[in-house]
Structure 1
Amino acid sequence: MMPTHCRPDVVGLAVESVLNQTFGDFELLVVGDGAIPGTAQAVKRFDDPRIRYFDLPKAPHFGYANRNVALRESRGELIGFAADDDLLFPDHLETLLRGLESGAAITYSQALWVSTDGIVAPFLTNLEFQDEMDAFRRGNTIAASCFLYRADALPNRDAWPEDVPSAADWRLWNRILDANPQSRIAYCRTPTVLHFSARRKASRHSAMPQLAEFIAIADSAAWWPDALRVPIDPDRTEQETFADLMGSTPGWCSHIRQASADLAARLAWDEIRHNRATTNRRLQAQAGQLAAKDAPPAVRSVRTPVQRIAAEIRRIPRNIIRLFRG
């Protein structure tokens, strides 16, 4: 399912990335949520019977009610999501299908987030770690395009919450998790989605603090991989630039995935080096404190009887003065 409202400039590229999947047995439900002029034309230029376009009036909020309209007419055994401004890697569906082979009710992959000026960074949420699952339960950290779930994971297909202003996708994933406690979510450890900053956010980093951190590093690190720093022509969208690379550069998907893994490894190594240096300094300080604590008290110099008498004689004038003043 691909909802769309105001992106006729890039929705065609998103549709094309779905049609280019290595696994081709699917239907693509493009849900026009009060879509602006040009949207229907961008979708209908594809002569493919797998596409079904729903031209619906604008629904409240992000059009969650219209998504349910389309899902009530869906026929697939599995349900996935594709944003109208994202690009799917050609093996996206194939990868997620393997994730469901274990019997999981829902699976997800990694996303590569793309800034408005072409900085690429991985988002590596691993819900197999309990602390990351706890964080995910409190707030979403995974792009909606990364998910695929079984249609029978919930009693009804039209399960999108319609009365919430935002984050209905996150609420849906949590509902699936709650309804299938015996079936662990499956994590596909590879990037299969290019996730771009939504135009409505007017933000270089999609208003995501994590991506902002990555960008800050990229802006200052000479070692940032070239594959993860793609110049964007001011007359083109980021999606056009990356769609060209994906479609015309042999091995590009493998190359950018490897660059993403190299970046994660480099950042982990830098973190270890920083932490190790900090730890070493702390351990050295603690060792110094322990050494000082365990050292024997300073030994007073041993004075001869003559030296002690001389010291007492030197104190006599001072004592006499104190006596008369007292």
Structure 2
Amino acid sequence: MMSWDDVKFYSEMYARRIRYMYPIKNHLESRRNKKILEENRLKYKNTENPLVSVLIATYNRPELLTERAVPSVLRQTYQNFELIIIGDHCTNDTEERLKKFKDERIKFFNLPERGKYPEDPHKRWLVAGTAPANKAIELSSGEWLAPLDDDDEFSDDHIETLLKFATDNDYDMVYGKVRMETEPDKWDELGSYPLEGSCISHMAVLYSSRLKFMKYDINCWKYIEPVDLKMWRQMKEAGARIGFINRIVGNHYLEKNQEKE
């Protein structure tokens, strides 16, 4: 049986190996992604009045989902969208509540089992919802994809504003600013350019289906990188044309703690 010192030694050795391999992994992914994006630019062209896929991953938060997130999508000034909601193996009445909207654009799919996330609370937070988020991308059929967390809300003109900005300037990905709740009822603005980890919110983004081949990496916790930030970083490194609009496009609420769920 290994001693505690042996455990610490091999753990540190494994961590060093991970840190050493990460730049190599990033380089190889960047080269692959750049090639795919260049090919997709030739295949997919912007059209008028394109379908937008709004993507929501959720787990047992039907009140916030149906009272905040979903209504903010339904009242959009741009109405040509589909709303794809994926449950991370929800065990409550999420589906029944969604059916009450009686809107054919809302599509719900519940995963047969939850994603496999780390036990450590912080590491789990880095990749929470990765499994349903990737399923939502897989099931989307829109020319543009708009992620939204199940406890946040779009501004009424979220899709219209970002879509017009993207198509007018031939961007692959665009993002705006959000009102971020830092303490109960205390709000700051988040969003700036150039694209860096601390200047962008997950729900402030709209990106082209040319980038749909990219998926959220459930192993981000090994590198202490939030899963959505890695996605945006990969888009940037692949040569995606990225634009920032200095407009509020939604509200990002103080997160409810789901670490023990």
CA distance in 2, matches of 1:146, 1:153: 16
CA distance in 2, matches of 1:163, 1:124: 26
Q: Tell me the CA shift for residue 45 of structure 1.
A: 1.6
- Relative distance call for 1:40 and 1:69 in structure 2 (3 A) is same
- 2:63 counterpart SS class: coil
| From 99, 102, 110, the counterpart of 1:47 | 102
Partner of 1:145: 203
Q: Letter of the aligned partner of 2:233 in structure 1?
A: N
- 1:37 counterpart SS class: coil
| From 182, 190, 199, the counterpart of 1:123 | 190
CA distance in 1, matches of 2:143, 2:170: 13
Structure 1: 5+ residue stretches without partners: 128-132, 203-326
- Relative distance call for 1:66 and 1:87 in structure 2 (3 A) is closer
Q: Letter of the aligned partner of 1:106 in structure 2?
A: M
Structure with the largest fraction of strand: 2
Q: Residue 106 in 1 paired to residue 199 in 2?
A: no
How do 1:272-283 and structure 2 match up within 5 A?
none
Q: Percent identity?
A: 26
User: What per-residue deviation string (whole Å, max 9, x for no partner) do you get for residues 212-244 of structure 1?
Assistant: xxxxxxxxxxxxxxxxxxxxxxxxxxxxxxxxx
Q: Contact 1:26/1:50 (CA < 8 Å) preserved in 2?
A: yes
Q: Tell me the CA shift for residue 159 of structure 1.
A: 1.6
Highest Rg: 1 or 2? 1
Q: Tell me the CA shift for residue 67 of structure 1.
A: 2.1
- Relative distance call for 1:177 and 1:190 in structure 2 (3 A) is same
CA distance in 2, matches of 1:67, 1:169: 10
CA distance in 1, matches of 2:151, 2:129: 16
- 1:2 counterpart SS class: strand
- Relative distance call for 1:63 and 1:115 in structure 2 (3 A) is closer
Report how many aligned residue pairs link the two structures: 189
CA distance in 2, matches of 1:47, 1:116: 35
Q: Letter of the aligned partner of 1:198 in structure 2?
A: E
More RCO (CA 8 Å, sep 6+): 2
Partner of 2:60: 6
| From 133, 146, 149, the counterpart of 1:67 | 133
Report the RMSD for the aligned CA atoms in angstroms: 1.9
TM-score normalised by L of structure 2 = 0.67
User: What per-residue deviation string (whole Å, max 9, x for no partner) do you get for residues 70-122 of structure 1?
Assistant: 32221101111011000111100001012202011100010001245211221
CA distance in 1, matches of 2:132, 2:184: 32
Q: Letter of the aligned partner of 1:169 in structure 2?
A: D
Structure 2: 5+ residue stretches without partners: 1-54, 118-127
